[in-house]
Amino acid sequence: MRLPLLALLAKEPAHGYELKSLLEQTFGQAYPSPNIGQIYVTLQRLERDGLVKSQDVIQTTRPNKRVYELTPAGREALAAWIEEPSEGPRVRDDFFVKLALSPLAGVTDQMALINRQRRHYLNLMRGLSKLASATDRDSRISLLLIEGAMLHLQADLDWLERCQEELM
- Cβ neighbours of residue 116 closer than 8 Å, sequence gap 6 or more: none
pTM here is 0.71
38/17 same-domain check: yes
Q: Quick one: CA dihedral 70, 28, 146, 96, positive or negative?
A: positive
78/119 same-domain check: no
What pLDDT does residue 15 have? 92
Q: Which domain holds residue 129?
A: 94-167
79/9 same-domain check: yes
Q: Could you give the CA distance from residue 130 to residue 23 in angstroms, rounded to a whole number?
A: 21
Query: Is 40 part of any domain?
Result: yes
7/79 same-domain check: yes
> What is the total count of domains within the chain?
2
79/110 same-domain check: no
Q: Which of 39, 61, 83 is the last residue of a domain?
A: 83
Q: Is 42 exposed, middle or buried (0-12, 13-18, 19+ CB in 10 A)?
A: buried
60/113 same-domain check: no
What pLDDT does residue 29 have? 76
71/141 same-domain check: no
CB–CB of 145/102 below 8 Å?
no
62/19 same-domain check: yes
73/121 same-domain check: no
Q: Which of 60, 83, 106 is the last residue of a domain?
A: 83
In this structure, what CATH number is given to the domain that contains residue 40?
Answer: 1.10.10.10
Low-confidence ranges of the chain (pLDDT < 70): none
Query: Is 89 part of any domain?
Result: no
**Tens-digit pLDDT profile for residues 20-37:** 998 888 888 777 888 999
